[in-house]
Structure 1
Amino acid sequence: MLYKLGKIIVLILFRLLFRIQVFGREHIPKTGPVIICSNHISNLDPPTVGITSPREIFFMAKEELFEKKWIGWLLKNLHAFPVKRGMRDRQALRTGLKILDEGHTLGLFPEGTRSKTGELGKGLAGAGFFALRSKAVIIPCAITGPYKLFGKVKVVYGKPISIEQMRRQKASPQEVTDKIMEEIQQLLNSAK
């Protein structure tokens, strides 16, 4: 309930502040597990993906954001869950897999942190882990900005990424993440 209300509020607010253009929304399946993997240029990226996706999205968020009780409560009710950065967080991995097993959508920023330059950074193996360990459809997403008042923000969802051949070849999570990052880079190149 709070998620839907929050989505409406953020949608109205963002429409007043930015000129958001969305492309490729039709590539996101209406049902079943989905992983949306996006580049990360701003703290505003999660709500931007959240309001432009037709599906409710569960996001990983750095553990420090949950330290204040009321913010932690709000984030949990907006479908965010904590992850310890810089280490393998087994609880966050289990939570992400459970979300996908239940047929929901998991939103990931494979770079793990915002890009200071706006250029796409190296992706972490977590995205590949979720892709390999679930039956989720993987959707690449590219966000171009910058988020300036009344500025244009473009969100492009790409076609699903097939990793079946990589599964057969026993690719590592990092190799799958690298493939996802290549797809995001192609979307960024075409979005300019």
Structure 2
Amino acid sequence: MTFYRFARAVLRIVYRVLFRIKIIGTEHIPVEGGVLLCSNHISYLDPPIVGIFIKRPVRFMAKEELFKVPVLGPIINKLGAFPVKRGGISKDSIRTALTVLREGGIMGIFPEGTRNSQSVAAKKGAAVFALRSDAAVVPVAIIGQYKLFSKIKVVYGPPVDLTAYKGKEATGTAEEATDKIMAEIRQLMKQNQ
């Protein structure tokens, strides 16, 4: 935890020096209990910016290959990231994610699964984690581009109400819940351009 706090403090300084960052809506993040931060994904720089400006530690899934990169692998491991295989989520990754959320932790996830231009259909993993864990789902919008000294907004919205989807095992339930989460993210982006 000490390493996480140190890394978070350093990254806050680095991001504030490189970009004109505006953080909006952190009051929407519950102070306790499981929380799933669901964000759009525009750059490799997204995971830190989603997590470093909030008080509670945030864990992320990361591509398995990143854990094999010298220096980077051990760092992201110490920061609480856990591996996910390309092309699908393993049972171990699902188990780890659900454990984090059920034990009251915060996990960040990008429902689109990849950096995109908003044209890729969102994957249902975020909704499945939320529905199985009862974690609060907080939509996050990253607005701007990571150009030196450019303005970037990170907007946290009110938790998404997924009550209508809980306890239902219908095939389309996770997809519908995912659509609702993505709609909230897009709405945040539209409102804060």
TM-score by length of 1: 0.94
Secondary structure of the 1:36 match is strand
Identity of aligned residues (%): 48
- What is the CA distance between 1:170 and its match in structure 2? 4.4
Equivalents in 2 of 1:91, 1:152: separation in Å?
Answer: 38
Query: What residue in structure 2 maps to residue 149 of structure 1?
Result: 148
Is contact 1:37–1:109 with CA below 8 Å preserved after alignment? yes
Structure 1 pair 18–139 and aligned structure 2 pair: CA distance change class (3 A)? same
Residue number in structure 2 paired with 1:67: 68
Partners of 1:121 and 1:3 in 2: how far apart?
32
Structure-2 residue corresponding to 1:138: 137
Separation in 1 of the partners of 2:167 and 2:95? 24
| Alignment-derived partner of residue 157 in structure 2 | 158
> Is the 8 Å Cα contact of residues 131 and 165 (structure 2) preserved in structure 1?
no
CA deviation after TM superposition for structure 1 residue 69, in Å: 4.9
Contact 2:141 2:188 in 1 (8 A): yes
The 3-state SS of whatever aligns with 2:141 is strand
Could you tell me which runs of 5 or more consecutive residues in structure 1 were left unpaired when the two chains were aligned. none
Show the counterpart of 1:15.
Answer: 16
Rounded to whole Å, the distance in 1 between the matches of 2:51 and 2:134 is 22
Whole-Å separation in 2 of the counterparts to 1:39 and 1:54:
21
Q: Following the alignment from structure 2 to structure 1, what is the Cα–Cα distance between the partners of residues 53 and 111?
A: 19
Q: Secondary structure at the match of 1:72?
A: helix
- For 1:3, the equivalent position in structure 2 comes to 4
| CA deviations over 1:78-118 (Å, ceiling 9, x no partner) | 11111012124111000000111111001000111111x3x
Structure 1 stretch 84-93 or stretch 35-44: which is displaced more?
84-93
> Between Structure 1 and Structure 2, how many residues are aligned?
190
Give SS of 1:182's match: helix
Deviation for aligned residue 1:174? 1.9
**TM-score, normalising length from structure 2?**
0.93
- Distance in 1 between residues matched to 2:111 and 2:137, nearest whole Å: 12
Taking the aligned partners of 1:135 and 1:125, their CA distance within structure 2 comes to 15
Give secondary structure in 1 for the equivalent of 2:107: strand
1:31 and 2:8 are equivalent in the alignment: no
1:51-86 CA-to-partner distances (Å, cap 9, x unmatched) read: 122221000111110113532211111111110121
Q: Note the residue ranges of structure 2 that are not aligned, 5 or more in a row.
A: none
1:183 is paired with a residue of what secondary structure? helix
CA apart distance, 1:165: 1.3
Aligned pairs for 1:30-179 within 5 A = 30-115=31-116, 117=117, 119=118, 121-167=120-166, 170=169, 172-179=173-180
The one-letter amino acid of 1:154's match is: K
Q: Secondary structure at the match of 2:33?
A: coil
- The worse-fitting range, judged by mean Cα deviation, of 61-70 and 103-112 is 61-70
* Contact 1:39–1:120 (Cα < 8 Å) also in 2: no
Q: CA deviation at 1:169?
A: 5.1
CA contact (8 A) 1:120 1:185 kept: no
In the other structure, the counterpart of 2:190 is 189
Greater mean alpha carbon deviation, residues 29-38 or residues 53-62: 53-62
